[in-house]
């Protein structure tokens, strides 16, 4: 048989165990500090890359949304009758008509300029196909800065087609981003333009010309300004051949050199990244429009952030070690002394021996609770014995009282029954009937101590009460019972209907004579039973206040104990989903709705 292994910690005293615990707690901090410093750079790069991948994707979406906005404006311009009137027709036009059309077109294009930051704007130019040179009076040289002239409409012939005009015509109405470097009087103005061919909307074949939106590079740079990159980071929007269309470092028109392996021929929209020794490259491609959005993030900027992170981790490690020393010294003083006293008490205490004095609660932590509990255990055991003895006596007394309660009502029933027969024999039939109804009322009210009775018994109780009220006060109101036999066997707290009918009599039909009417309806409602008590009283009733009383609303009056008691008893037996609700009755009067679940005697016995 192999010897039993012993826990080596049991050979140490508590002081040595606490020192070992301190070393175990502090050592991982320094190990994690070393590990964090070695891994922080890689983790930081991965997290930054993941974050900027999502940011790049969203930024590219916003850029294309801005381009779509310009495209929608162009669509409006293209569909405008003024634009369509610029198409060459077979009808001979006068110079005056051409001047008017030119002026209207020029005004419309100028009114659609979209303002940008720094006083810039997206300007719209229309290059109209004019093979016969009918608009000789129009300026021939466009100016994207709109400084030298205010013309926005120009004309070209087959001999004057530029490559970007041909690209726009080949796109057949689709938008094209193109770099144009031959604008201006000296053909030295460079801009990123959005081009769309303008065709006739009647036949779709006749060409009006090309609509050009300039300064798109400024609009895209406006979107770039919303992105915050680390120091030295740059953003580039390029075409499929990596030619820069817009950037944050004014390199428009140049070819961006990407790390090897980042050029893709994939026809899918995707986001890729590459980490080099100098920078992180994040590229989002849109093959459908042949665009790439490139983020370049210098590694040097990230390492500066990492250095600050290292200092923070080291500071936290030192502060944690000092804090751990202070905490261990505090717990050494606050725990060891009371634990020694508790150990001495545990050795000296004998079960059943009363304590010399009651323990005092000097501290609220677990040690204080333990000390208080141990010192108080013997007294609690003795108290439990006495309490158990007292409970047994009270239980016997309660059983005796219950027996007396069952005997006394039985005697009362027999006495009332004797009076009923004596009155009947003497010819006092009215008094006899009232005594009979009273006997029935008291019998059902007591119900041999039961709290729940059947709806049939409750209706019998309510009928007896109503009959007594009519005979006692000679009320002339009528009462109608509409009861479904399907639910009469379900249980209901006893004396539920009587307070509701009493309210209907006193507050509803008391002074109405033969015009007063009370209707009691009992019907199934899905898995519940719905009971309503209605009267046709004419008094104005504040239903919100009554329902507030039922909800124990402190702002409402404290009256209404009867219905409040009924509502509480229903909720105690069946839950807060059930109870009373008061509402108006059409055309006049008041209706109280009682909702209880379907529950038979068998169901009630199963639950118990």
Domain-wise residue ranges, the chain: 80-219, 477-606
Cα 376-378-382 angle, rounded to 5 deg: 115
Cβ atoms within 10 Å, residue 538: 13
Average pLDDT over residues 462-484: 82
Query: What is residue 487's predicted lDDT score, i.e. its pLDDT?
Result: 92
pLDDT, tens digit, 9 for 90 and up, residues 234-281 = 888 888 888 888 888 888 888 888 888 777 766 677 888 888 888 888
CA distance 338 to 348: 16
Q: How far is CA 503 from the centre of its chain?
A: 45
Query: What is residue 254's predicted lDDT score, i.e. its pLDDT?
Result: 86
| Statement: 477-606 belongs to CATH 3.30.70.1400 | no
CA distance 462 to 460: 5
pLDDT, tens digit, 9 for 90 and up, residues 408-419 = 454 455 555 556
Average pLDDT over residues 576-598: 93
- Of the chain, the percentage scoring pLDDT greater than 90 comes to 10
Q: What does the buried/exposed string (b/e) look like for 342-376 if buried means 16 or more CB atoms within 10 Å of the residue's CB?
A: eeeeeeeeeeeeeeeeeeeeeeeeeeeeebbeebe
Average pLDDT over residues 167-179: 85
Query: What is residue 218's predicted lDDT score, i.e. its pLDDT?
Result: 84
Report the SS3 class of residue 554: coil
CA distance 593 to 130: 86
Is the pLDDT score of 149 beyond 60?
A: no
Q: List all residues 6 or more positions away from 74 whose beta carbon is below 8 Å from its beta carbon.
A: 124, 175, 194, 196, 211, 213
Q: What does pLDDT average to over the chain? A: 78
| Sheet containing 189-199: order of strands | 153-156, 124-129, 207-213, 189-199, 176-183
CA distance 518 to 114: 76
> Between 346 and 489, whose confidence is greater?
489
Per-residue pLDDT band at 63 (split at 50, 70, 90): confident
> Between 396 and 585, whose confidence is greater?
585
Q: Is residue 558 classed exposed, middle or buried when 0-12, 13-18 and 19+ CB atoms within 10 A define those classes?
A: exposed
CA distance 45 to 276: 11
Per-residue pLDDT band at 426 (split at 50, 70, 90): low
Q: Are strands 124-129 and 153-156 parallel, antiparallel or unpaired?
A: parallel
Query: What is residue 225's predicted lDDT score, i.e. its pLDDT?
Result: 82
| Sheet containing 244-247: order of strands | 244-247, 234-239, 291-298, 279-286, 270-275
Per-residue pLDDT band at 583 (split at 50, 70, 90): very high
Least confident of 61-70, 162-171, 393-402, 515-524: 393-402
Q: What is the pTM of this model?
A: 0.45
Query: What is residue 410's predicted lDDT score, i.e. its pLDDT?
Result: 46
Query: What is residue 404's predicted lDDT score, i.e. its pLDDT?
Result: 42
Query: What is residue 517's predicted lDDT score, i.e. its pLDDT?
Result: 93
Query: What is residue 535's predicted lDDT score, i.e. its pLDDT?
Result: 94
CA distance 547 to 594: 13
Is the pLDDT score of 214 beyond 90?
A: no
Q: How far is CA 183 from CA 128, 190, 233, in A?
A: 16, 7, 31
Is the pLDDT score of 558 beyond 70?
A: no
Q: List all residues 6 or more positions away from 23 whose beta carbon is below 8 Å from its beta carbon.
A: none
Cβ atoms within 10 Å, residue 138: 16
Closest CA to 87 of 142, 126, 41: 126
Is the pLDDT score of 605 beyond 60?
A: yes
pLDDT, tens digit, 9 for 90 and up, residues 93-125 = 777 888 888 888 888 888 877 665 555 678 888
């Amino acid at each position: 048989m192999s010897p039993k292994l012993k826990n080596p910690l049991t050979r140490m005293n508590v002081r040595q165990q606490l020192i070992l615990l301190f070393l175990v707690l502090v050592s991982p901090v320094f190990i994690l500090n070393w590990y964090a410093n070695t891994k922080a750079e890689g983790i930081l790069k991965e997290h930054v890359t993941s974050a900027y991948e999502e940011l790049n994707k969203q930024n590219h979406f916003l850029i294309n949304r801005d381009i779509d906005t310009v495209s929608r404006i162009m669509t409006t311009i293209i569909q405008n009758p003024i634009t369509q009137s610029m198409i060459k027709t077979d009808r001979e036009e006068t110079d005056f008509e051409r001047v008017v059309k030119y002026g209207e077109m020029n005004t419309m294009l100028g009114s659609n300029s979209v303002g940008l930051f720094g006083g810039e704007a997206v300007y719209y130019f229309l290059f109209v196909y004019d093979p016969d040179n009918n608009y000789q009076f129009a300026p021939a040289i466009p100016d994207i800065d709109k400084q030298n002239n205010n013309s926005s409409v120009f004309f070209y012939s087959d001999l004057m087609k530029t490559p970007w005009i041909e690209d726009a015509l080949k796109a057949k109405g689709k938008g094209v981003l193109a770099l144009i470097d031959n604008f201006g009087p000296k053909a030295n103005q460079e801009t990123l333009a959005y081009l769309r061919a303008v065709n006739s909307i009647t036949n779709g074949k006749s060409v009006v010309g090309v609509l050009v939106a300039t300064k798109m590079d400024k609009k895209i740079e406006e979107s770039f300004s919303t992105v915050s990159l680390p120091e030295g980071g740059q953003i580039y929007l390029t075409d499929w051949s990596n030619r820069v269309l817009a950037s944050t470092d004014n390199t428009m028109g140049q070819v961006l050199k990407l790390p090897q392996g980042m050029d893709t021929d994939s026809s899918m929209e995707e986001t890729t990244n590459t980490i080099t020794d100098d920078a992180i490259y994040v590229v989002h491609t849109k093959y459908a429009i042949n665009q790439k959005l490139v983020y370049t993030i210098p590694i040097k900027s990230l390492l500066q952030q990492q250095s600050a992170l290292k200092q923070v981790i080291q500071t936290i490690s030192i502060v944690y070690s000092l804090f751990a020393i202070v905490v261990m010294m505090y717990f050494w003083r606050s725990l060891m002394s009371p634990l020694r006293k508790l150990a001495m008490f545990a050795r000296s205490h004998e079960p059943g021996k009363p304590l010399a004095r009651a323990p005092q609660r000097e501290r609220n932590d677990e040690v204080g609770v333990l000390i208080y509990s141990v010192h108080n255990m013997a007294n609690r055991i003795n108290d439990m014995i006495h309490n158990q003895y007292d409970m047994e006596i009270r239980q016997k007394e309660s059983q005796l009282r219950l027996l007396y309660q069952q005997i006394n009502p039985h005697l009362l029933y027999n006495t009332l029954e004797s009076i009923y027969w004596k009155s009947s024999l003497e010819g006092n039939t009215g008094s006899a009937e009232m005594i009979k109804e009273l006997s029935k009322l008291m019998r059902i009210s007591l119900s041999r101590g039961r709290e729940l009775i059947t709806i049939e018994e409750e209706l019998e109780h309510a009928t007896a009460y109503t009959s007594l009220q009519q005979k006692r006060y000679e009320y002339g109101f009528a009462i109608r019972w509409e009861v479904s036999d399907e639910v009469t066997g379900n249980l209901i707290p006893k004396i539920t209907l009587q307070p509701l009918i009493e309210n209907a009599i006193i507050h509803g039909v008391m002074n109405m004579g033969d015009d007063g009417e009370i209707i009691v309806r009992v019907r199934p409602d899905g898995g519940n039973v719905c009971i309503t008590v209605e009267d046709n009283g004419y008094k104005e009733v504040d239903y919100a206040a009554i329902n507030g009383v039922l909800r124990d609303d402190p702002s409402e009056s404290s009256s209404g104990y009867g219905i409040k008691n009924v509502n509480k008893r229903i909720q105690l037996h069946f839950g807060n989903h059930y109870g009373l609700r008061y509402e108006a009755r059409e055309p006049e009067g008041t209706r109280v709705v009682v909702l209880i679940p379907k529950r038979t005697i068998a169901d009630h016995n199963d639950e118990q």
